[in-house]
Structure 1
Amino acid sequence: MANRHRVYLVPGFFGFTQMGDKESERIAYFQNVPRLLEQRFKERGIDARVHPVASAPSSGLEARARDVFREMARTANEDDAQLHLVGHSTGGLDARSVVSPRMAGEAPAFVKRVRSVVSIATPHYGTPLASFFHEGDVGKTMLRYLWLFTFLALQRKAMPFRTAALQACYWLVLRSEEAKLPPNLFNQIVRLTVDLSESERENLIRFFSQVGENQALIEDLMPVSMRAFNAHTADREDVRYGCVVTGAPLPTQTLRMLLTPDALLHGLFSFLYDKSAPLSRELQVPERTEAQSQALQDVLGRRFEARSDGIVPSRAQVWGQVLHVAVADHMDVMGHFDQPPEYISWLKSGAHFQEPQFQAMWDRVIDFTVGGAVTVHPGNQAERRVLADG
């Protein structure tokens, strides 16, 4: 079955596959990605199946790797297809763990059939943002409050104030849609939670209970922790490793931006970008190859080392062959960008990442996973104009 393939999509932090039963209200991590991949495989005449993988949302890297083992086991043994792992953010680290010699002793036999690992916007050398949230247990406290809020919002017991608040939020969503304001993540969440089925309620409570119980992933993503991870997680010789690097424009707070409905969300992105601290001394990145550096410079400019996608510094995302460099924020490449109505941006970065860039990026991933090594896509050249070199 040399020409049969299975591609496993491994999510990052908060690693869910989708939330919500009703298609019109569903929130998916890999938004529109499986559909695009299946369409492209069909157009190319490739026998391939796409499998989004669920993992523990905020547990440590070891626990998440075992989750990937279990999820893959459901389908990997149905045939002897070649296997490929594509991980976004922390999912890229999970993918490296799964195929690493370090995990070989407990890895199922099918892991030997993994032929490629692609990491997308992955903090291979950590991110100072994790250090910020780890300091003083800021991140853990926020996640615990999120779990508590979700539990109170979703429990079965009737709460008039909660019901009234949700209905008020839903009214605001409807009015914003009537005014033809751009859809956003808030709209999606309100539509999902205002009228939950019993199974949706139970699934959400289960998911956020995991978040409340374990927040080890924050510490694992600190640069100092990633140095230890990399020292003990070697690449496998018979696996090809490629990466997609993302970098957003430096955030600006112009008067025009402050007067838009997305001003608050853009302010949040600016805060995250600052705390990701691309030039932090805490971030120790080894010397890149000439080809890797050239690929980043071609798209992000000569000062690419100062770039971030708002979560992960761009230079910390390089591992193996640089397949593609995108002017995008951390979630754009998962299909969460502003192009209503099919796409809704989760981060308001001003990257102007749209459908053509989305398709070009995933085409490069397909080239690499089902074929041999590739070079950076010529379409990257067009992105040079988006990020100023200054």
Structure 2
Amino acid sequence: MRLTRLELEEFRCYRKLALDIPSSGLRLHGLNASGKTSLLEAMHLLATLRSPRATQERELVNWSSAEEFGLPPYARVQGWISDGREEHHVEVVLAADERRAGAIKKRIKLDGRARRAVDTIGTLKVVLFAPEDLNLVLGSPSVRRRYLDISISQIDPAYVRSLARYGRILEQRNGLLKDLGARYRPSDPAAGEQLAYWDGELVAQGAYVAAARLRYLHGLDAGAGGAFTQLTGLDRPLTLHYLGTVTLPEPQLERVIASPSSDAQALLARSFEMDLQRRREDELRRGVTLIGPHRDDFTFRLGGIELSAYGSRGQQRLAVVATKLAELRQVLALVGDRPLLLLDDVLSELDAEHRTRLLDALSTADCQVIITSTDRDLLDQPSLNGLPFFESTDCTLVPEPPCEPHE
């Protein structure tokens, strides 16, 4: 899979950009705030329809755009994608909503036709490493859940649908819990009767989400250990462990991981339903759903030790890089596509030895790579010579020859 062309209009600091992208990828050098990261952000938006950085989509829009025409401010991102068999065009437009101050309307087109997000996500597949990804180890559980959601959504449209439905059902169920909790009496069966419908809906969608996450993380775990050893030369195993809130005995857990069948998923659904019944009084008292994939997490361990608590910053960073390399290989194994790899200033986060090991790993990945750095010398590596070199200045890209290697 290759992103062959990118066009931007009024996206962050880019007024207009048209960039043909070689099949190998690009090297981008520039100072901070020169537009490098925004370029990678636009590529990520094409793949996932979400920004990896912005908390609100309005941050992506140039609010002075279209002033001279009296039109609402907007941003447009377009990408042309080829997988060797088919070619696709994805367009995302973010425009200010004239009826609601500060609100943004998103319009999505795939091959010139308006489409829903679920039909477009994953047309381009990306794996992104950015310095803030250290939060995968150190951040809150919501950071790790979001990572899994974005990764799985690119390869499983059914996951996108179930996740969206689960979120809506969860909101409804929490509202009912708060309402019932205000007048709940332990001997009153009415609460259970009213919750029964929402329990069934929550279990149906939540079981799919949790099962998909379990299987995906199992694959990441299998690949991340080898990638970590490749990056470090250490034989201490890196492992990833899913921390689910649904009680599932080990034999049943293994069945769910081993098979995407409806029978295996039903095991998880039954346990989910039983756990909801057990925690009903707690949920009514607190007015919130306490069990389900919205509360799940996963953890990194090195040699059996919790990496977030006892690992060095270097070990934590390398664990994240290893996980992203495993993600790259996992997508290829599951759907046969090689994702676009986006590396935002990753080389400056590593010492010389680990930079060399990472570049060696990338040389065998056979994928399109977009790599950025504020240090030009870091991009002048023999293993990167196949990537054309661009200078980024004030959100303008200029192709340049690489520096001569240092003697």
* Greater fraction strand: 2
TM category, shorter: under 0.3
Select the structure with the greater relative contact order (CA < 8 A; seq sep ≥ 6).
2
Report the TM-score, using the length of structure 1 for normalisation.
0.27
